[in-house]
């Protein structure tokens, strides 16, 4: 018994369990309303356990310094935050309020993400538990759809379901993209093995299907587009990697297996895309024309006060521009113009767009963000802030490719999912920002490499 206790203490297993299950709890409740108190509890115990794990873990202490550069760069965002507050803030009261709130929680989950990476490194059941938890939101979303459909006596249309459940479109889309990114990384890793791991590919393929179906039911265009984009990227990588390997090693046995894997994923994409386009809100058919007209913000004022600022412009075919496309494009254009005019940022995560518009004395009656997480973040913390995040992303990809392990591939794919999705979704708004920092920190931690 004493020997077992010593082994448990030696491997920090108790702290690892606490850290991982704190993260799992956060992944489940982050999207649920009225859970701020529980979030604080989970973050507190997760942070304490993560600090202990990081202090004791040999991998982190003795890993190559260069592989920790992505994490170090991400950590600079907190230093820039304090620098910005002290010297460049345009609204000090609001910025300080957010420092004590969303930024403090983001600081806690930054360390929890490191603790999770170190905890799942050697303990397979903790790794499995955490990976399954990433699919919790899509599974809850599908479960809610089934329950509400049974309650109503019919299958709900996505446009009906989205107003009957707590999740917003952004949450279903964001967590779906994160889940698909992890699944794609593991599918790609399974195909790289000497012995083709069909069982692993099937399991992760089911995960992809769950996340895509969840996004479709939530009627989220950006969620479906983000998930489909990752799947198409996976197919492209599989084809290139297999053909290269086949011709390099004169081994053409894998080509048939890769073909069926790619074909299955493509069939799933086409099915989801068909049903989504059939039941989604209008706008896909005229997307390019809508983007072109929406970008001409000097020609129309609807963006200043949606619903009251006059009729939306019509595209070349005479069709009124889709509202969701118009707002995203027009606000993004205005947001970029403001970043150019004020490159050091406003200082508020949650009010960066409206705050900067008011500071620039631009007449409008808005109460939200630009619908683009990266533009919102650039408005909040300027070019230096977005540069720090960009460097962290690039370093994850560089060291991930250099290392080429299961974990490093997950880090790469998380970046490939987060970056484009952040262009079209508000992933830096409210609690989504905490989730974002957690998964960026996780991606940075996954490329930490042990000294050889």
- What pLDDT digit, counting tens, does each position of 192-247 carry? 877 767 788 889 999 999 999 998 888 887 888 899 889 888 888 887 777 776 66
Label residue 280 by pLDDT band (50, 70, 90): low
Percent of the residues in the chain that have a pLDDT greater than 90, as a whole number? 50
pLDDT at site 156: 83
CA atoms of 325 and 311, how far apart (whole Å):
14
What element of type H or E holds 296? Answer: none
Cβ contact 209:261 at 8 Å: no
The mean of the pLDDT values for the chain is 85
In angstroms, the CA 264 to CA 58 distance is 41
Mean of the pLDDT values across residues 343-361? 93
Higher-confidence position of 52 and 220: 52
Tell me: pLDDT of 149 over 80: yes
Which two tokens mark 272? 């989801």
Q: Quick one: pLDDT band at residue 29, thresholds 50, 70, 90?
A: very high
**Per-residue pLDDT, 314:** 67
List the single range of 59-68, 149-158, 387-396 with lowest mean pLDDT: 59-68
The residue ranking higher by pLDDT, 348 or 263, is 348
pLDDT at residue 376 greater than cutoff 80 = yes
| Token couple for 153 | 């006596």
Q: How sure is the predictor about 13, in pLDDT bands with cuts at 50, 70 and 90?
A: confident
Instruction: Report residue 303's pLDDT band, with 50, 70 and 90 as the boundaries.
Output: confident
- Reported as a pLDDT band with limits 50, 70 and 90, residue 330 is confident
Q: Distance between CA atoms of 54 and 61, rounded to whole angstroms? A: 8
The confidence band for 5, taking pLDDT boundaries of 50, 70 and 90, is low
Q: Domain extents for the chain?
A: 2-286+369-446
What is the arithmetic mean of pLDDT over 86-93?
95
Confidence of residue 6 (pLDDT cuts 50, 70, 90): low
Q: Give the pair of three-digit tokens for residue 354.
A: 């409206």
Predicted pLDDT at 79: 97
| Closest among 248, 233, 130, 139 to 187, alpha carbons compared | 233
Confidence of residue 257 (pLDDT cuts 50, 70, 90): low
Dig out the tokens for 268 from the structure: 């799933």
Rounded to 5 degrees, φ, ψ at 163 are: -95, 0
For residue range 380-412, what is the model confidence (pLDDT) as tens digits? 999 999 999 999 999 999 999 998 899 999 999
pLDDT > 70: percent of the chain: 86
The continuous run of DSSP H or E covering 416 comes out as helix 406-424
Q: Please report the pLDDT score of residue 197 as a whole number.
A: 76
Give backbone dihedrals phi and psi of 310, rounded to 5 degrees, phi first: 100, 170
pLDDT digits (tens, 9 = 90+) for 68-82: 999 999 999 999 999
User: What does the pLDDT read at residue 365?
Assistant: 85
Q: Looking at the predicted structure, is the pLDDT value of residue 367 above 90?
A: no
* Neighbour count for residue 378 (Cβ, 10 Å): 28
Angle (deg, nearest 10), helices 431-446 and 406-424:
150
Question: What is the rounded distance in angstroms from the CA atom of residue 386 to the CA atom of residue 174?
Answer: 20
User: DSSP state, 305?
Assistant: S
- Say which DSSP state 218 is in: T
Per-residue pLDDT, 237: 84
Query: 12 near 122, Cβ under 8 Å?
Result: no
pLDDT of residue 88: 95
Residue 309 — very low, low, confident or very high, per pLDDT cuts 50/70/90? very low
């Amino acid at each position: 018994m004493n020997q077992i206790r010593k082994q448990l203490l030696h491997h920090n297993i108790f702290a690892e369990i606490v850290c991982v299950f704190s993260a799992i709890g956060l992944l489940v409740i982050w999207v649920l309303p009225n859970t701020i108190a529980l979030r604080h509890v989970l973050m507190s115990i997760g942070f304490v356990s993560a600090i202990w794990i990081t202090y004791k873990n040999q991998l982190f202490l003795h890993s190559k310094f260069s592989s920790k550069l992505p994490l170090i760069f991400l950590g600079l965002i907190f230093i820039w935050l304090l620098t910005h507050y002290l010297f460049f803030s345009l609204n000090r009261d609001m910025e300080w309020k957010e420092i004590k709130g969303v930024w403090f929680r983001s600081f806690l989950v930054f360390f929890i993400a490191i603790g999770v990476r170190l905890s799942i490194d050697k303990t397979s059941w903790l790794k499995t538990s955490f990976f399954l938890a990433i699919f919790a939101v899509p599974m809850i979303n599908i479960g809610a759809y089934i329950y509400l459909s049974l309650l109503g006596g019919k299958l709900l249309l996505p446009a009906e379901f989205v107003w009957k459940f707590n999740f917003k479109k952004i949450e279903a889309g964001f967590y779906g993209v994160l889940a698909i990114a992890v699944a794609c990384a593991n599918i790609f890793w399974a195909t790289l093995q000497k012995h083709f791991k069909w069982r692993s590919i099937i399991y992760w393929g089911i995960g992809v299907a769950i996340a895509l179906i969840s996004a479709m039911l939530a009627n989220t265009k950006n969620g479906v587009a983000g998930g489909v984009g990752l799947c198409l990227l996976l197919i492209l990588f599989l084809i290139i990697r297999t053909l290269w390997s086949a011709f390099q090693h004169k081994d053409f046995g894998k080509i048939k297996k890769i073909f069926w894997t790619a074909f299955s994923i493509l069939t799933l994409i086409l099915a989801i895309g068909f049903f989504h386009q059939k039941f989604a809100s209008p706008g896909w058919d005229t997307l390019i024309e809508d983007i072109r007209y929406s970008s001409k913000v000097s020609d129309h004022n609807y963006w200043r006060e949606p619903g009251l600022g006059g009729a939306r412009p019509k595209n070349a075919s005479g069709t009124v521009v889709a509202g969701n496309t118009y707002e995203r494009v027009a606000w993004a254009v205005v947001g970029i113009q403001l970043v150019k005019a004020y490159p050091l940022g406003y200082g508020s995560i949650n009010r960066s767009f409206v705050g900067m518009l008011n500071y620039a004395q631009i007449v409008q009656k808005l109460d939200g963000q630009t619908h683009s997480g990266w533009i919102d973040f650039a408005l909040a913390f300027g070019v230096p802030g977005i540069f720090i995040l960009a460097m962290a992303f690039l370093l994850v990809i560089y060291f991930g490719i250099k290392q080429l392990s299961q974990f490093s591939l997950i880090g790469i794919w998380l970046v490939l999912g987060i970056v484009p999705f952040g262009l079209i979704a508000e992933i830096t708004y409210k609690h989504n920002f905490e989730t974002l920092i957690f998964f960026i920190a996780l991606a940075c931690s996954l490329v930490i490499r042990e000294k050889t």
